[in-house]
């Protein structure tokens, strides 16, 4: 891992040292923006904890524990995740998880539980976990990962050790991205990184699939609405195909357009129409941002997405009227 994600090196070394000096808390909570590498770091820590013969601060990759981890079948690692078709981690899952963690380890003398995404523990599930977080037995660790610390109850966060994973400096992120996507224009990498707010793994995912192109298509659609040249029915139909993703883009573009109004247009909006400041555009964009977040929250629920998107678009259209 040492060179795969260079911006995680410092945090990795710090975890390693804490573990060696037996002062790594039993419940590290990995925090930070989506796509910054929290989960990668947590998975690395789990391999490091489980490895029977770590070498120079890294899991050796060769011992029995490392082979089991590589095969995804280490019997002393337990994962608490969302069940398919569920929006929350449920209390029964937590009970099973706690029971598993109390079994005698079968490989080394350590057991680890991973909770991802930790912010999806519902209230009962979080409560059921408190005692385990409070009084972990000897060689047991819990690693929690969240994009959204605010959604975790304080009763949980106060029992964890916060490990904030920061967005790397743009030069580091760009060097990493352009090496991975040598087939892409450097410009594409820059736009993806800007849209991802500097989070390299998010930009990477978009560049690996059609994500960047989908984002840019949504940008162009929004620009066309402002220029009065959009086929709005077609836009809604398109956005509705993947509502959760569309809402994320609409929220992100509301932010970027607001940045354009208040300061200067970001590179990704260099050719987009930007409303003038001081004519209410700021308020409309803030409202659009809030509505998009709310839309995203409702995306998995039985709600008419086309209505929500219509209503969002009529708010967005006010920018054209004002400009
Ligand atoms: Zn090993």
> In this predicted model, what pLDDT tens digit does every residue of 273-296 receive, in sequence order?
999 988 899 999 999 999 999 999
Superfamily name with CATH number, domain 6-164: P-loop containing nucleotide triphosphate hydrolases (3.40.50.300)
Q: What is the pLDDT of residue 1?
A: 52
- Share of residues in the chain with pLDDT > 70 (%): 98
pLDDT band at 303 (very low <50, low <70, confident <90, very high): confident
Residue 69 Cα, ligand 1 centroid: separation in angstroms?
9
Residue 49 Cα, ligand 1 centroid: separation in angstroms?
9
Residue 178 Cα, ligand 1 centroid: separation in angstroms?
32
10-17 mean pLDDT:
94
Residue 34 Cα, ligand 1 centroid: separation in angstroms?
29
172-193 mean pLDDT:
96
CA dihedral 79, 81, 83, 84 (to 10 degrees): -110
Alpha-carbon span 192 to 210, nearest angstrom = 11
- pLDDT tens per residue across span 136-169: 777 899 999 999 999 999 999 999 999 999 999 9
Alpha-carbon span 72 to 244, nearest angstrom = 29
CB 49 within 8 A of CB 78: no
Residue 66 Cα, ligand 1 centroid: separation in angstroms?
4
Residue 76 Cα, ligand 1 centroid: separation in angstroms?
14
Residue 136 Cα, ligand 1 centroid: separation in angstroms?
24
Alpha-carbon span 201 to 100, nearest angstrom = 32
**Location of structure tokens 């209230």:** 123
End-to-end CA distance of the chain: 50
pLDDT band at 233 (very low <50, low <70, confident <90, very high): very high
Residue 77 Cα, ligand 1 centroid: separation in angstroms?
14
Residue 168 Cα, ligand 1 centroid: separation in angstroms?
29
CB 137 within 8 A of CB 104: no
Alpha-carbon span 184 to 192, nearest angstrom = 11
Residue 62 Cα, ligand 1 centroid: separation in angstroms?
5
258-280 mean pLDDT:
93
pLDDT band at 120 (very low <50, low <70, confident <90, very high): very high
CB 18 within 8 A of CB 135: no
24-50 mean pLDDT:
96
Residue 51 Cα, ligand 1 centroid: separation in angstroms?
4
Phi then psi dihedrals of residue 188, to 5 deg: -60, -45
- Kindly list the domain boundaries of the chain, sorted by start residue: 6-164, 210-322
Alpha-carbon span 215 to 245, nearest angstrom = 9
Residue 150 Cα, ligand 1 centroid: separation in angstroms?
36
Residue 53 Cα, ligand 1 centroid: separation in angstroms?
5
Residue 206 Cα, ligand 1 centroid: separation in angstroms?
33
Q: What is the pLDDT of residue 34?
A: 93
Residue 71 Cα, ligand 1 centroid: separation in angstroms?
13
pTM of the predicted model as reported, rounded to 2 decimal places: 0.88
pLDDT band at 322 (very low <50, low <70, confident <90, very high): low
Q: Does the pLDDT value for residue 267 go beyond 80?
A: yes
Q: What is the pLDDT of residue 86?
A: 87
| Helix extents (H) in the chain | 9-20, 38-50, 64-70, 91-101, 123-134, 154-157, 170-180, 186-195, 200-208, 211-226, 232-241, 243-262, 281-297, 305-322
Phi then psi dihedrals of residue 62, to 5 deg: -125, -20
120-145 mean pLDDT:
91
Residue 50 Cα, ligand 1 centroid: separation in angstroms?
7
Alpha-carbon span 102 to 321, nearest angstrom = 63
Residue 48 Cα, ligand 1 centroid: separation in angstroms?
8
Residue 63 Cα, ligand 1 centroid: separation in angstroms?
4
Residue 52 Cα, ligand 1 centroid: separation in angstroms?
5
Q: What is the pLDDT of residue 323?
A: 47
């Amino acid at each position: 891992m040492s060179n795969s994600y260079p911006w995680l090196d410092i945090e990795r070394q710090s975890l390693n040292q804490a573990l060696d000096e037996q002062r790594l808390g039993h419940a590290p909570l990995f925090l930070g923006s989506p796509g910054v590498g929290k989960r990668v770091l947590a998975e690395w820590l789990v391999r490091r904890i489980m490895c029977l013969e770590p070498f120079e601060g890294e899991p050796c990759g060769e011992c029995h524990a490392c082979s089991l981890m590589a095969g995804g079948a280490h019997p002393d690692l337990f994962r608490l995740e969302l069940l398919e078709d569920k929006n929350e981690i449920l209390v029964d899952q937590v009970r099973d998880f706690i029971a598993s963690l109390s079994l005698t380890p079968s490989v080394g003398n350590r057991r680890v539980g991973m909770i991802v995404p930790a912010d999806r523990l519902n209230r009962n599930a979080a409560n059921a976990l408190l005692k385990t977080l409070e009084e972990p037995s000897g060689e047991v660790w819990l690693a929690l990962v969240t994009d959204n610390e605010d959604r975790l109850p304080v009763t949980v966060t106060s029992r964890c050790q916060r490990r904030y994973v920061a967005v790397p400096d743009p030069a580091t992120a760009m060097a990493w991205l352009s090496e991975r996507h040598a087939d892409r224009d450097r410009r594409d990498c820059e736009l993806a990184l800007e849209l991802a707010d500097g989070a390299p793994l998010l930009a990477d995912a978009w560049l690996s699939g059609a994500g960047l192109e989908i984002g840019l298509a949504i940008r162009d659609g929004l620009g066309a609405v402002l220029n009065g040249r959009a086929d709005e029915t077609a836009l809604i139909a398109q956005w509705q195909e993947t509502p959760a993703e569309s809402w994320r883009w609409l929220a992100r573009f509301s932010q970027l357009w607001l940045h354009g109004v208040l300061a200067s247009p970001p590179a990704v909006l260099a050719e987009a129409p930007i409303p003038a400041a001081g004519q209410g555009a700021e308020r409309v964009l803030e409202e659009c941002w809030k509505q998009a977040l709310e839309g995203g929250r409702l995306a998995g629920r039985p709600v008419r997405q086309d209505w929500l998107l219509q209503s969002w678009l009529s708010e967005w259209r006010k920018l054209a009227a004002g400009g």
